[in-house]
Amino acid sequence: TQISICRDLPNIEVITFSVNGISDLEPLNQCQHLSELYLRKNNIASLNELFYLKNLPRLRVLWLSENPCCGSDPHRYRMTVLRNLPSLQKLDNQAVTEEELSQALLDGEEITAPPAKRSVENGCPEPTASSAAESTMETESELLSFSLEETNKIREELGMKPVPRDKFSSFSPRETDCNRKKRNNVLNAILLLMKELDAEGLEIVQQTVGRRLQALRKKELQEE
């Protein structure tokens, strides 16, 4: 899945996965530097997925609204999230108060175990009618702009500097074309991992990409 690359990004600080059909948060439990996590409009079915976020010491901003796990009782949902993640400063674009944290100890449910693992078939899943409609309505550029806007809005309210657009990484929505989706996953993974490299590592990547491009162009010329 797209989110699985997070296992290889332990130093990542801000992740935006809005509108991605994500249901499993287990790969995030190694991201010890994570401070902001945007998961609006995904397929997270159980609040037990918060188990994987409980040991992230720097997590201060979480956007989890419009997921199935929010249920029909917004008070119970918010209290459960805050009971298990009491260090949050913002939940769903709403500031967390000391009164809420105290109330969460009474009204929220303690999560002590991860959700039961689901059996997932390999391959490219067929999008549901609703997710296909969302992909049609929200283009990739619109999603990037919205994700950057919601990220910077919260950072501004917390007195933090905005993230420049050229340094912002988001993940494209689910696509009906399986090959294109796989290509985007690989591309996003490479772009994120490049941030972990020093100058020497980037030079190696640059040389490798140059050789690869030369080989592809040579192949295209031969085919013509």
How confident is the model over 78-119, as pLDDT tens digits? 999 999 999 999 999 899 999 999 999 999 999 999 988 654
Q: From CA 101, how far away is CA 108, in angstroms rounded?
A: 9
Q: How many CB atoms lie within 10 A of CB 31?
A: 22
- Domain 4-107 is classified in which CATH homologous superfamily? Ribonuclease Inhibitor (3.80.10.10)
pLDDT in tens, 153-202: 666 666 677 766 665 555 444 444 455 555 666 666 677 677 777 888 78
Identify the DSSP state of 143.
Answer: H
Sign of the Cα torsion 184, 129, 41, 152 reads positive
Q: Which residues of 93-113 are buried (b: 16+ CB within 10 A; e: fewer)?
A: eeebeeebbebbeeebeebee
Q: Which residues of 166-178 are buried (b: 16+ CB within 10 A; e: fewer)?
A: eebbbbbbbbeee
- The rounded percent of the chain whose pLDDT value lies above 70 is 67
Q: Which residues of 187-223 are buried (b: 16+ CB within 10 A; e: fewer)?
A: ebbeebeeeeeeeeeeeeeeeeeeeeeeeeeeeeeee
pLDDT score at 11: 86
Q: From CA 69, how far away is CA 61, in angstroms rounded?
A: 18
Q: From CA 87, how far away is CA 82, in angstroms rounded?
A: 8
Residue ranges per structural domain of the chain: 4-107, 186-221
pLDDT in tens, 119-137: 444 444 444 434 444 444 4
- Indicate whether this model's pTM tops 0.95: no
Q: From CA 149, how far away is CA 156, in angstroms rounded?
A: 10
3-state secondary structure labels for all residues of 63-77? ECCCCHHHCCCHHHH
